[in-house]
Chain A
């Protein structure tokens, strides 16, 4: 069965410094992996996705993630944090190969950005 583990429940950075949100996955198959962002009391928005194409994936708002099969990781990074990046971030794996469309969510990482 697929699963994801977000290694930090809370990350705090200063504005203008790099962001690293860590995610490890477990999958018996070639996984599809995603990062979603959620601002307070809002729905989730897709940041980026990996679906077996390029291992370095670029997303919206300057975020990117690198798929590393040898490390079973899919960490999210951004070179320079902005105040508007403060939100909760979810690492997600798809429930393949059943094709039910079920996504398996990590527990989330809260990103705090200090001025």
Chain B
């Protein structure tokens, strides 16, 4: 079955530690996205990538980093510089950034990060 796989589903970390969230897709999509979800705030875009080896900052990129070395993979690192990292993180993909404008985003099931 084609889809997006995020791991781990739940993650705990101590303050000051970096953590990497995995996102893998087998849909052959060019574009991939990372969103952060906090209660009552909807989804906010962290980073997006329209093509392999290219990515752009979204609205709340500070304290995060990404890479896009392979088409199917778009890992997100939450660094110690992120002041409030506890949140639900969602990865998404679309055939291209143009088709994303038609709403055709496919989402993973999310990773819940808790900082202790």
Chain A positions within 8 Å of B, measured between CB atoms, are: 9, 32, 34, 41-46, 49, 51, 90, 92, 94-96, 99-103, 105-108
Across the A-B interface, how many residue pairs have beta carbons closer than 8 Å?
76
Q: Chain B: which residue is nearest A34 at the CB level?
A: B103
Residues of chain B within 8 A of A99, CB atoms compared:
97-98, 101
- For the complex formed, measure the closest distance between the CB of B65 and the CB atoms of chain A, giving whole angstroms: 19
| CA–CA, A34 and B41, complex, Å | 17
- A-B contact sample (17 more), CB < 8 A, given A44-B107, A90-B42: A32-B102, A34-B103, A41-B112, A42-B110, A44-B92, A100-B56, A101-B48, A101-B94, A101-B96, A101-B97, A101-B99, A101-B101, A103-B45, A103-B100, A105-B42, A106-B42, A108-B42
Let me know if B61 is at the binding interface, CB within 8 A.
Answer: no
Give the interface SS of chain A, mostly helix, strand, loop or mixed.
loop
Whether B43 lies near A90 (C-beta < 8 A) is yes
Residues of chain A within 8 A of B97, CB atoms compared:
99-101
- For the complex formed, measure the closest distance between the CB of A11 and the CB atoms of chain B, giving whole angstroms: 14
| CA–CA, A103 and B97, complex, Å | 10
Let me know if B58 is at the binding interface, CB within 8 A.
Answer: yes
Q: Chain A: which residue is nearest B50 at the CB level?
A: A101
Residues of chain B within 8 A of A32, CB atoms compared:
101-103
Query: How many residues on B have C-beta within 8 angstroms of the other chain's C-beta atoms?
Result: 33
Let me know if B109 is at the binding interface, CB within 8 A.
Answer: yes
- For the complex formed, measure the closest distance between the CB of A97 and the CB atoms of chain B, giving whole angstroms: 9
Whether A46 lies near B104 (C-beta < 8 A) is yes
Whether A43 lies near B110 (C-beta < 8 A) is yes
- For the complex formed, measure the closest distance between the CB of B49 and the CB atoms of chain A, giving whole angstroms: 10
